Amino acid sequence: MPWNDRTKRRLKLRELDIFLAVVETGAMGKAADRLHMTQPAVSKAIADLEHTFGVRLVDRSRQGAEPTLFGRTLLKRGVAIFDELKQSVKDIDFLADPTSGELHIGCTETITAGLVSAAIDRLDQEHSNLAFHLVLADAATLHFHFLRERKCELVIARMLAPTPEPDMDAELLFYERHFIATKPPNKWLKRRKIALAEISDGPWIFSLLEGEPGTPLFEAFRANGLDFPRAKVLSNSLNLRNSLLSTGRYLTLVPGSVLRFVPDHLLLKVLPIELPRAQLPIAIVTLKNRTLSPAAQLFIDCVRTLAKPLA
């Protein structure tokens, strides 16, 4: 189908919006309910859109509606079209009031607890009308799901490979270090020197990835001829970790970026045990050819400044 004046006249944003709703809900009726339309009106809009493109975009059945190969192609571009329009509206609002805006950020929980929280606090003091929406997930989900589907403008997380995906840009901020930490009144805080073998029986709190080969603590135990300790608690929840650490009984691993920005009242104390330096790159990741909002640019500039001492 050629892109010409006739096609541009026939292609309507409203029909494209209805198509996206049908794909997202998986049914004409559900899309009609979401859009406050009748089902025949939704069906007609899809039929008109298919007539415009000259191909079938949706397979209809009793089980619902599924996008065809052509439909999946349009879906990918359609999401990008509406995302750019939303960004245009945000940019216009920002030009009208440079202190306002709305930013969707994807990050892991540990990065949120430290660096991202510090950046939000600083920007909020300078631009009180800025609003921040955070999506928390593991690094792979953030990259391949939330960023690609434009549910967030940028991701701050560890890089999954030495180079970013072909459709992404990555700006390295720092290499994360880890430390063994606890909270008072843990008995090990009274010691100036501690051998790794002495604390091998914990009790330990680990996240799901901290016990994997190649992580700093795993390599430290292996270098000392020790088996990796069994986790008493295995969880990615920082709230759970902080609550249990407050008893003064548990040991855990804490990223250096969290230690730098953590509030004083959490009282995290590092034990005098040197761990190997792991090449764990933390980066700002964005989609190529996606225009970032002014709020995103402000946030990135702030994060760069805060992350310099960690580099």
- The pLDDT tens digits along the chain (311 residues) read 565 666 667 778 888 889 889 988 999 889 889 989 998 899 898 888 888 888 899 988 888 888 898 888 888 888 878 787 877 777 777 666 656 678 899 999 889 989 999 999 999 998 888 889 999 999 999 999 999 988 899 999 999 888 999 999 999 999 998 899 999 999 999 998 999 999 998 899 998 888 788 788 888 888 889 999 999 999 888 889 889 999 999 999 998 998 898 776 568 899 999 887 777 899 999 999 888 888 889 999 999 999 999 88
Contacts by 182-185 with C-beta closer than 8 Å and gap 24+?
Answer: 182/245, 182/248, 182/250, 182/251, 182/252, 182/268, 182/269, 182/271, 183/245, 183/246, 183/247, 183/248, 183/266, 183/267, 183/268, 183/269, 184/248, 184/267, 184/269, 185/248
Give a yes or no: residue 90 inside a domain.
no
Which pLDDT score is estimated for 8?
65
Q: Are residues 111 and 28 in the same domain?
A: no
Supply the range of the domain harboring residue 121. Answer: 97-175+281-310
Residue 83 lies in a domain: no
Q: Output the domain CATH number for residue 204.
A: 3.40.190.10
Count of structural domains, the chain: 3
pLDDT computed for residue 290 by the predictor: 86
What pLDDT, on the 0 to 100 scale, is given for residue 294?
A: 83
| 104 and 156 housed in the same domain | yes
**Same domain flag for 266 and 182:** yes
Tell me, yes or no, whether 233 lies in a domain.
Answer: yes
- CATH code of the domain containing 50: 1.10.10.10
Domain termination site, one of 18, 51, 78:
78
pLDDT score at 205: 95
pLDDT on residue 5 = 61
187 and 253 fall within a common domain: yes
Say what the pTM is. 0.68
Question: Is residue 85 one of the residues assigned to a domain?
Answer: no
Q: Are residues 144 and 73 in the same domain?
A: no
